[in-house]
């Protein structure tokens, strides 16, 4: 796999073919008001779809630049884990955008061993990887979440990732004011999140995507 990797099963890309790194900054980082939202406190991010780990690496790098003395908890659910070699090849072009984070992920990534992996990434970051279907994993969890990265292939080709189960469990685990961001602006995602109690806004998407959704738990 070279360049922007593609899933045959879902007929979609893991990140933008134009520039996945810039897409992550626009959609998930700025879409969630980071780094301001985490200033001076410990913080828990929940991601649907770990994929290559690009979103995780961008969040942890920014954490190291802006809030290194506090602790970042990053929880990500992934049903079809990539191998270490696939991750390395997919992210090779952005190696220079990270410092020790890229090597630390490759060194500690559990391959595709099923189950839950709690991985201490240095002193200030705990990565929890849950290799399971999101609809099975979420109802079992009782975390208090500050921020959601919703990144599960486009809803039209993967509706399971954008289910009532996901939206209701997001509402259950959200701290008051918890934010979310996602690259999609699909109507049923917007309505599902609003019904679950989120204030949902459409804003400008990244690259060729006209719109995306952001919001917060009321
Ligand atoms: C767009 S990619 C995520 C990209 C990733 N955030 C990154 O930084 O590279 C979507 C991911 O969702 C995963 N996925 C799809 N359906 C799923 C499900 N039902 N439960 C959990 N993960 C799922 C896919 O395997 C894929 O890795």
158 lines ligand 1 (CB under 6 A): yes
Look at residue 111 in the predicted model and tell me its pLDDT: 87
121 lines ligand 1 (CB under 6 A): no
Which protein residue has the closest C-alpha to ligand 1 atom 2? 14
For 64-121, what is each residue's pLDDT tens digit? 999 999 999 999 999 999 999 999 999 999 999 998 999 999 999 998 788 999 999 9
Ramachandran angles phi, psi of 173, nearest 5°: -95, -5
Ramachandran angles phi, psi of 159, nearest 5°: -60, -25
Indicate the pTM of the whole model. Answer: 0.96
Mean pLDDT (the chain) is: 94
The confidence band for 10, taking pLDDT boundaries of 50, 70 and 90, is: confident
Q: Where are the domains of the chain?
A: 6-217
Distance CA 90, CA 55 (A): 13
Instruction: Tell me: pLDDT of 21 over 90.
Output: yes
For 123-150, what is each residue's pLDDT tens digit? 999 999 999 999 999 999 999 999 999 9
Instruction: Tell me: pLDDT of 18 over 80.
Output: no
78 lines ligand 1 (CB under 6 A): yes
Distance CA 171, CA 197 (A): 7
Look at residue 4 in the predicted model and tell me its pLDDT: 65
49 lines ligand 1 (CB under 6 A): yes
Look at residue 1 in the predicted model and tell me its pLDDT: 42
Which ligand 1 atom is nearest residue 51's CA? 27
Look at residue 3 in the predicted model and tell me its pLDDT: 55
For 31-76, what is each residue's pLDDT tens digit? 999 999 999 999 999 999 999 999 999 999 999 999 999 999 999 9
- Residue with token string 């995780």: 56
Q: How many angstroms from the chain centroid is the CA of residue 169?
A: 16
Ramachandran angles phi, psi of 182, nearest 5°: -150, 150
For 171-193, what is each residue's pLDDT tens digit? 999 999 999 999 999 999 999 99
CATH superfamily for domain 6-217: Vaccinia Virus protein VP39 (3.40.50.150)
């Amino acid at each position: 796999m070279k360049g922007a990797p593609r899933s045959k099963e879902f007929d979609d890309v893991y990140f933008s073919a134009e520039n996945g790194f810039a897409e992550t900054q626009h959609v998930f980082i700025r879409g969630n008001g980071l780094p301001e939202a985490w200033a001076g406190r410990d913080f828990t991010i929940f991601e649907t779809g770990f994929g290559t780990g690009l979103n995780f690496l961008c969040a942890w790098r920014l954490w190291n630049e802006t809030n290194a003395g506090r602790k970042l908890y990053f929880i990500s659910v992934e049903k079809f884990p990539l191998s270490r070699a696939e991750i390395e090849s997919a992210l090779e072009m952005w190696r220079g955008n990270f410092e020790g984070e890229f090597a630390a992920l490759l060194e500690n990534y559990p391959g595709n061993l099923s189950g839950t992996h709690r991985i201490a990434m240095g002193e200030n970051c705990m990565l929890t990887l849950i290799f399971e279907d999101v609809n099975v994993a979420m109802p079992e969890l009782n975390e208090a979440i500050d921020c959601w990265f919703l990144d599960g292939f486009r809803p039209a080709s993967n509706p399971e990732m954008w289910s009532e189960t996901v939206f209701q469990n997001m509402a259950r685990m959200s701290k008051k004011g918890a934010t979310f961001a996602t690259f999609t602006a699909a109507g049923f995602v917007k309505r599902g999140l609003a019904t679950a109690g989120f204030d949902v806004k459409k804003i400008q998407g990244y690259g060729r995507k006209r719109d995306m959704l952001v919001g917060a738990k009321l």
